[in-house]
Amino acid sequence: MNKNVLFIGIIAIGVILFVYNQENPQVRKPISNPLLTEFNGVHDFAAIKPGHIKRATRYVLESADRMLDDILQNPDQSRTFENTLVAIDDLYAKIESVWSPGYLMGYTHTEKVIRDEGLESSRTIQKYLTDLSLNEDLYNAVVAFSRTSEAIGLSGYKKKYLEDTMLDYKRSGFELPKEERDKVKTIFNELSDLGIAFSKNISDFQDTLYVTEAEVEGLPESYKQERLQADGRYAIDMPYPSYVPFMEFSESDGAREQLQFKYKNRAKESNLSVLDDIISKRRELVEVLGYSSYAEYRTEDRMAKNPENVWNFENDLKQQVRPKGQLDVNEMLKIKSKRTGTEATVIEPWEAGFYFNKVLKENYDLDPEEVRQYFEFHNVTQGLFTIYQQLFGVWFKEVENPSVWHEDVLMYEVYDRDSRNLIGRFYLDMFPRPNKYGHAAAFSVTMGKMTDNGYQKPATALVCNFPKPSEFQPSLLTHDNVETYFHEFGHLVHGVLTEASLMSHAGTSVPRDFVEAPSQMLENWVWQKESLSLFAKHYETGDVIPDELLNKMIAAKNVNSGTRTLQQIFYGVLDFTLHDGFDPAGETSTTDIVNKLQNEITFYPMQKGTHMQAAFGHLNGYGAAYYGYMWSKVFAQDMFSVFEENGIMDAETGRRYRDVILGKGGTKDPLDLVREFLGREPNSEAFTRSLGL
């Protein structure tokens, strides 16, 4: 089940007002609650007040209780797919309708009380879902249906949903005695609390490095002006638009070292122990369930199937990529030696971004600051819209004066180009602010699903942290920012263009080691002349990016492809190592593991005294699944090869991609979807070619 939802209630004259829910008169529905919309209604985010999320959460959980009662009251001999399996999906959808928007508010709302309420709602809902997954009466109802002639004759998405449901029950401990299942329930609830605490500690953490004029040498004037303090120093904080440029352009080795030390110690005081507790609880969980490790548990229902396949994948990829990584480092060492006047043998981690840019400038005559001039945020947005609309046969319409949670947030409707019918909606929350989610992600707002009233229109919010326009210059994106934008918007369209009948299969409800593939595939459009020429325009003159500069960018595409891929392998191996036999109660700490693996896998030695794992949020959300980033990249590049063959703006290929990959979501095994789109068995040729190997 996905993890995003919403809720709301209203206080009038000091009394909470309710109306009867017409669908089920036993449950009273709060009126004027921004999170409780009518069918296919729009959330009134701007109207959210303290208490709304809490009351909406209570309402949907009470409604879910009634829906559960209805499912259980059906006699076993009368069980059907509709009154049992679809009814369970309906129950999940009811909860999701508040969980998704509430979770989004937990990471984006400007008021702390509402953020806290959103996260508390998520905790409450996750505990409810844990109880539901361990409800013996519901399990027996599904088992009873599974024995009917209808169940035995199921095919397609219906058969898959039943099989997935039965596997989920096995993974929840239903082959165990009740006492053991109660232990599983307790552990799931404890893990829910720990996971939310881990993420919140990262979001809440703030730190700043104050540097001198000499230490900002090399940085653009606009960057310096935005951070200049009254005492003449410059304030460099931790969000990407501040951190990344400083690490890439500051000529001060010492200041970069200090900033990275702070960055890699984010949430250290609070999260090191939380991470240990998460790993310990996961170990405890799989011991009860009978798995050898959490890694085995997590891969069972993924494309990888087992830990051995993941280890083989990571180790094989490492061996393929290491020679390219060594070549990348050698290029940087030459420039470092020349700059320092000594024979350099090591690139320190706080030097990696800096010397990467030096390589671009000196060996390819490519200046990232010059490139930024051609990627103004609004131009990029319009170009991205043009590409996605043409490929997928849709058009986007901006909503005027939308009800949103911050003035920067934009809202759009998505229409099918042929039928002119409304398909769904999306929100763009693209600039940093205090206490906002610090990375880039697509958050579900409403999940797609077929209902008695018609199809529930999905909605997704894209949350990023790109440089905000200032009085000194507009929002100018790095090329990496543009790639991130195309990637995350890929998740967005995966959610919005779904056609799955069940919410449990809708959009990105696919195995975690495939969920990145559709988005990674769409990153390729930021490396093609044909697509870049649509939106890469100088922010002052409006001139399209010249071929000379484009050629330099494309030529430099695989600069550091080896070191970057090794960094991703390091993240995946770190995550898998912590979940495949590691015991935090032993003599080895997570910091010891980070040190060992970073020094073994990457060419950048670990910075002493740092604890990057404390703010590596994917250790919570992905847990033994981060390998999926590189795993899915293989399928992504293979799928892109079809566009390379037919034309990157070919609408027919794009529409087929929409129908086969995006529209079907989790209705079929992802390997079958990829085979259907490719018209052949997948292979890794396009992937290795994309790395310049």
Q: Where are the domains of the chain?
A: 11-133+135-171, 206-263, 268-372+560-628
381-400: average pLDDT: 98
Taking the C-alpha atoms of residue 494 and residue 488, their distance in angstroms, rounded to an integer, is 10
The answer to whether residue 16 scores a pLDDT higher than 70 is no
Taking the C-alpha atoms of residue 117 and residue 55, their distance in angstroms, rounded to an integer, is 10
137-143: average pLDDT: 97
601-614: average pLDDT: 97
Closest residue by Cα to residue 191 from 279, 103, 96, 302: 279
Q: Determine which one of 96, 483, 488, 499 is catalytic.
A: 488
User: Token pair of 580, please?
Assistant: 């495949």
| 454 Cβ neighbours under 8 A, 6+ residues apart | 39, 40
375 vs 7, higher pLDDT: 375
The answer to whether residue 323 scores a pLDDT higher than 80 is yes
Mean pLDDT computed over every residue of the chain? 93
User: Token pair of 45, please?
Assistant: 């985010």
Between the CA atoms of 658, 569, 372 and 224, what dihedral angle is there, to the nearest 10 degrees?
A: 140
pTM, entire model: 0.86
486-505: average pLDDT: 98
User: Token pair of 612, please?
Assistant: 């990057």
**Confidence band (pLDDT; 50, 70, 90) for 29?**
confident
354-362: average pLDDT: 94
The answer to whether residue 399 scores a pLDDT higher than 50 is yes
Query: What is the full DSSP assignment across 186-221?
Result: HHHHHHHHHHHHHHHHHHH---EEEE-TGGGTTS-H
Taking the C-alpha atoms of residue 308 and residue 301, their distance in angstroms, rounded to an integer, is 14
pLDDT at position 26: 59
Taking the C-alpha atoms of residue 457 and residue 278, their distance in angstroms, rounded to an integer, is 36
Pairing of strands 234-237, 441-446: unpaired
Q: For the chain, give the percent of residues with pLDDT over 70.
A: 96
The answer to whether residue 693 scores a pLDDT higher than 50 is yes
**What backbone phi and psi angles, to 5 degrees, belong to 395?**
-140, 145
Taking the C-alpha atoms of residue 148 and residue 166, their distance in angstroms, rounded to an integer, is 14
Between the CA atoms of 194, 199, 200 and 201, what dihedral angle is there, to the nearest 10 degrees?
A: 90
pLDDT at position 175: 87
pLDDT at position 21: 37
Distances, alpha carbon 5 to alpha carbons 20, 60, 317, 447, 457, in Å? 22, 10, 38, 9, 15
Task: Encode pLDDT of 623-635 as tens digits.
Answer: 999 999 999 999 9
User: Token pair of 144, please?
Assistant: 């009873």
| 536 Cβ neighbours under 8 A, 6+ residues apart | 374, 375, 379, 383, 544, 545, 550
5 vs 138, higher pLDDT: 138
149-160: average pLDDT: 98
Place of tokens 């969000």: 239
**Confidence band (pLDDT; 50, 70, 90) for 471?**
confident
Active-site residue, 175 included? no
Task: Encode pLDDT of 249-283 as tens digits.
Answer: 999 999 999 999 999 999 999 999 999 999 999 99
pLDDT at position 546: 94
**What backbone phi and psi angles, to 5 degrees, belong to 176?**
-105, 160
In a 3-state reduction of DSSP, which class is residue 431? coil
**Interior/surface letters 572-606, b for 16+ CB within 10 angstroms, e for the rest:** bbbbbbbbbebebeeeeebbebbbebbeebbbbeb
pLDDT at position 15: 26
User: Token pair of 266, please?
Assistant: 């984010």
Q: Picking from 171-180, 266-275, 311-320, 401-410, which range would have the lowest pLDDT averaged per residue?
A: 171-180
**What backbone phi and psi angles, to 5 degrees, belong to 127?**
-70, -40
Q: Is 11-133+135-171 a domain of CATH 1.10.600.10?
A: no
User: Token pair of 524, please?
Assistant: 């390729």
Beta-ladder partners of 211 = 234
- Does this chain's domain 11-133+135-171 share its CATH topology with 268-372+560-628? no
pLDDT at position 305: 94
Contact 336, 231 (CB under 8 A): no
pLDDT at position 607: 97
| 108 Cβ neighbours under 8 A, 6+ residues apart | 115, 405, 406, 429, 436, 437, 443, 461, 463
Task: Encode pLDDT of 55-103 as tens digits.
Answer: 999 999 999 999 999 999 999 999 999 999 999 999 999 999 999 999 9
The answer to whether residue 364 scores a pLDDT higher than 50 is yes
User: Token pair of 452, please?
Assistant: 């008695």
State how far Cα 575 lies from the chain centre.
16
State how far Cα 182 lies from the chain centre.
31
Place of tokens 């590049």: 637
The answer to whether residue 447 scores a pLDDT higher than 80 is yes
Q: Is 17 left (phi over 0), alpha (psi -120 to 50) or beta?
A: beta
Beta-ladder partners of 425 = 413, 459
What's the number of CA atoms in the CB half-sphere (13 Å) around residue 130?
19
Distances, alpha carbon 233 to alpha carbons 226, 433, 649, in Å? 12, 21, 48
The answer to whether residue 4 scores a pLDDT higher than 90 is no
Q: Is 252 left (phi over 0), alpha (psi -120 to 50) or beta?
A: beta
Task: Encode pLDDT of 567-599 as tens digits.
Answer: 999 999 999 999 999 999 999 999 999 999 999
> What is the assigned CATH class of domain 268-372+560-628?
mainly alpha
Place of tokens 């010059």: 370
